[in-house]
């Protein structure tokens, strides 16, 4: 192993805790808390949630939200204190979501669902649900929906699902990946697009990738200082028993509306949580997974590339100072740049 790499336990995604020298490394259900100075586990903690897909911190770094779901038609969110790991509040929604993020004011969070809805929820809210009972062959089934009494739905996009969320907290803008789900003319050319929504002005901006004959998916989006990194993918078959995808990477400059292609037709492993396959550093470097390495491109220096060899990575995450990256996979590592 490279002397710059410190072996972590088997973790498929990681999260650096803001304003600290700690790293969260989830191991199935149990979380390990690593000290970045000693490279040792200092605490083990078990959240009250299964099938966790994402972890996001608020701007102050004193709270984090876990997003997860145990079935295909629901979502669960839990808010924790980042210092004590005490549960602050939890929410259950009868709609599926991939991830949730904090708003700029830190007292609420936002997420999009596969029902085409975008919700903004206060940390102290209580969600009102409506219940519908259906009797089939003598057996009663219950269905739930989010009541309009909550008054927390920001958007509804008909015949679409919203599966990823990202934010520019300084400018009160959130970005959503929107995917059409019903057939229409030339659907094979209508690939997923990104909708930008300003929370204060209520204005919307569409970001569309070039038309393609392939029905690709936008796998991940990440915002950093006026730029939005976008990775799309399409099924590429199996290699050595593993599902792989062919991927393309773009960077969209929000000020001049310029879409730049960074890398085309590279392979990535099929992963559980797409939201962790891209990461920005504080100094404008963009890291992303490929099949056999982590690639770091310097967006402020002619997009020069640096590669870190790694077998089938599942995630990458920059530390706050940009000097380290945590790489998820079968043999997870903390790598010093």
Mean pLDDT, 10 residues at a time, over the chain (337 residues)?
76 90 82 92 88 88 90 91 93 94 89 95 93 82 88 92 91 92 55 90 91 85 96 91 92 94 94 89 96 95 94 94 93 91
Residue 226's CB is within 10 A of a number of other CB atoms, namely 13
Last residue of a domain, one of 212, 235, 250: 212
Q: Are 232 and 311 in a shared domain?
A: yes
Q: Are 204 and 222 in a shared domain?
A: no
What pLDDT is stored for residue 190 in this prediction?
A: 55
Q: Are 20 and 167 in a shared domain?
A: no
Domain hosting 293: range is 1-31+216-337
Q: How far apart are CA 270 and CA 86, in angstroms?
A: 33
Q: How far apart are CA 274 and CA 53, in angstroms?
A: 9
Alpha-carbon distances, residue 294 vs 139, 162, 325 (angstroms): 52, 27, 10
Q: Are 202 and 84 in a shared domain?
A: yes
218 in Cβ contact with 247 (< 8 Å): no
Residue 57's CB is within 10 A of a number of other CB atoms, namely 20
Q: Are 208 and 105 in a shared domain?
A: yes
At 78, list the tokens: 């839990």
Q: How far apart are CA 98 and CA 114, in angstroms?
A: 9
Q: Are 252 and 267 in a shared domain?
A: yes
* Among 298, 295, 317, 291, residue whose Cα is nearest residue 308: 295
At 8, list the tokens: 């972590």
Query: Quick check: is 165 in a domain?
Result: yes
- The 8-class DSSP code of residue 169 comes to G
Output the CA torsion sign for 153, 159, 165, 169.
Answer: negative
Q: Are 202 and 241 in a shared domain?
A: no
CATH number of the domain to which 189 belongs: 2.130.10.10
Q: What is the pTM of this model?
A: 0.92
Q: How many independent structural domains does the chain possess?
A: 2
Output the CA torsion sign for 95, 101, 103, 106.
Answer: positive
The contacts found for 202-210 with CB under 8 angstroms, 24 or more apart, are: 207/175, 207/252, 207/259, 209/250, 209/259, 210/259
Alpha-carbon distances, residue 194 vs 18, 71, 187, 204, 224 (angstroms): 28, 26, 16, 10, 16
């Amino acid at each position: 192993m490279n002397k710059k790499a410190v072996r972590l336990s088997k973790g498929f995604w990681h999260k650096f805790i803001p304003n600290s020298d700690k790293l969260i490394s989830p191991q199935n259900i149990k979380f390990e808390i690593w000290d970045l100075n000693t490279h040792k586990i200092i605490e083990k903690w078990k959240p009250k949630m299964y099938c966790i897909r994402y972890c996001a911190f608020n701007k102050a770094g004193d709270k984090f939200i876990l997003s997860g779901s145990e079935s295909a038609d629901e979502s669960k969110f839990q808010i924790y204190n980042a210092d004590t790991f005490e549960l602050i509040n939890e929410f259950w929604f009868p709609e599926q979501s991939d991830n949730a993020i904090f708003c700029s004011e830190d007292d609420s969070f936002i997420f999009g669902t596969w029902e085409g809805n975008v919700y903004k929820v206060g940390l102290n809210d209580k969600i009102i649900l409506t219940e519908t009972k259906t009797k089939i062959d003598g057996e009663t089934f219950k269905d739930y929906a989010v009541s309009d009494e909550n008054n927390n739905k920001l958007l509804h996009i008909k015949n679409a699902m919203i599966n990823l969320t990202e934010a520019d907290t300084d400018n009160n803008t959130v970005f959503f990946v929107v995917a059409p789900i019903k057939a229409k003319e030339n659907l094979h050319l209508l690939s997923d697009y990104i909708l930008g929504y300003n929370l204060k002005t209520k204005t919307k901006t569409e970001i569309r990738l070039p038309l393609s004959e392939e029905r690709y998916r936008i796998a991940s989006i990440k915002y950093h200082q006026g730029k939005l990194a976008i990775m799309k993918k399409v099924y590429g078959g199996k290699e050595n028993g593993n599902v792989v995808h062919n991927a393309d990477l773009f960077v969209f400059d929000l000020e001049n509306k310029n879409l730049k292609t960074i890398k085309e037709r590279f392979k990535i492993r099929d992963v559980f949580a797409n939201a962790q396959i891209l990461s920005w550093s504080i100094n404008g470097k963009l890291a992303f997974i490929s099949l056999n390495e982590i690639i770091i491109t310097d967006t402020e220096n002619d997009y020069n590339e640096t590669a870190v060899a790694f077998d089938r990575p599942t995630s990458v995450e920059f530390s706050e100072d940009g000097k380290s990256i945590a790489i998820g996979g079968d043999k997870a590592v903390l790598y010093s740049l």
